[in-house]
Amino acid sequence: MNHPANPPLPPDSCSLGWGGLSAFGTAPQASFWVALEQPGPWGRDAFTQSHLDPDLGARIEAAAAAHGGRAILIRRPGQHADSHGGPRRVFVAGGLAGAAWLLSGEVDDPAEVLTLPWEHLAQTRPVEAPWLHPADPVLLVCTNAKRDRCCALVGRPIVEALAERDLRVWECSHTSGHRFAPTGVLLPYGQVLARLTPTLGVEVLEAAASGKLAVGTLNEQHDRSVSWLPPREGAAVSWVRAREAFTDPIGLAAVADGDSVTVTRVDGQIWELTVTRQESEPRAESCGKDAKPAAVFHVELLSAVYA
């Protein structure tokens, strides 16, 4: 499926240098996601360089990381009111390796996020908190310009285009991998996306509303894999999804033994794969940084057994 091109970037932009390289297995690892609304400007390190109290921001990030998850800041589409107070939207996505769930609510004080039962956010059963309620899938698109200019230049137009259609999209802070800008995260499934376009964003949210991953994302161009899998296993699962057009966000398990990865589907199908990390010519991973060898995962099929 072809998608319209994004706005042009300066010729020295990092994401141009990575065009055409596989995105498989490049998702940041996280067994759950916590997204906190923070209006106004963000610095390079958004949780400690915004109007959010930097000590509180550091504590939220640390709590998520200590329990195997990831915290991220979000902003509503459109003009960013330079607000220091007021209710804040929060999304909590967990159970990613099983029956993924998404809760949402508002807090008057962002410090309330620290009261989350962090040790239970990765579990299959949704956690309970009086201010959290079940929510529909949401797409977070990185626009953290101070982290990398590519994200703002091509990320913000996507957010604006999707918001015009009243779709569930938010701007977000750094997701890692700005070399694949525009990048995004689909909650609750934890699928991390590369090289988004407005058309692809629509497909992503329409599929998610039916509990599926978008077929148009299941390829090396757009699928950075799911965050709950380690990189090599993630690359293997993404390869199988692309080969089989398998849109169920759960349904696949992966076990690695060195470069060998076994992917198993719930119906008994098994794929034996070799996943090797290979280097190509040097490229900059971020705008303004020196080039270094670019690492990608190469996947080969050894055997497949169909139930």
Residues pairing with 193 in the sheet: 184, 223
Q: Per the domain annotation, does 242 fall within a domain?
A: no
Task: Tell me the pLDDT of the chain averaged across its residues.
Answer: 88
Question: For residue 11, what pLDDT is reported?
Answer: 47
Count helices and strands (H / E) in the chain. Answer: 5, 14
- Reduce the DSSP state of residue 149 to 3 states and report it: helix
- The secondary structure element, H or E, covering residue 186 is strand 184-187
* Nearest CA among 199, 231, 227, 228 for reference residue 215: 199
Mean pLDDT over 113-138 rounds to 95
Whole-angstrom Cα distance, residue 141 to residue 73? 11
Q: Per the domain annotation, does 286 fall within a domain?
A: no
Whole-angstrom Cα distance, residue 97 to residue 125? 11
pLDDT band at 224; cut points 50, 70, 90: very high
Question: For residue 146, what pLDDT is reported?
Answer: 52
What is the spatial order of strands in the sheet that 169-172 belongs to? 133-134, 101-107, 88-94, 33-37, 70-75, 169-172, 138-142, 184-187, 191-193, 223-226
Look up the CATH number of the domain holding residue 18.
Answer: 3.40.30.10
Question: For residue 69, what pLDDT is reported?
Answer: 97
* Nearest CA among 205, 300, 208 for reference residue 261: 300
pTM of the predicted structure, to 2 decimals? 0.90
Q: Per the domain annotation, does 135 fall within a domain?
A: yes
Q: Per the domain annotation, does 157 fall within a domain?
A: yes
Mean pLDDT over 102-118 rounds to 97
Q: How many domains, in total, are found in the chain?
A: 1
Cα end-to-end distance, the chain, whole Å: 29
Domain residues for the domain of 118 are 13-229
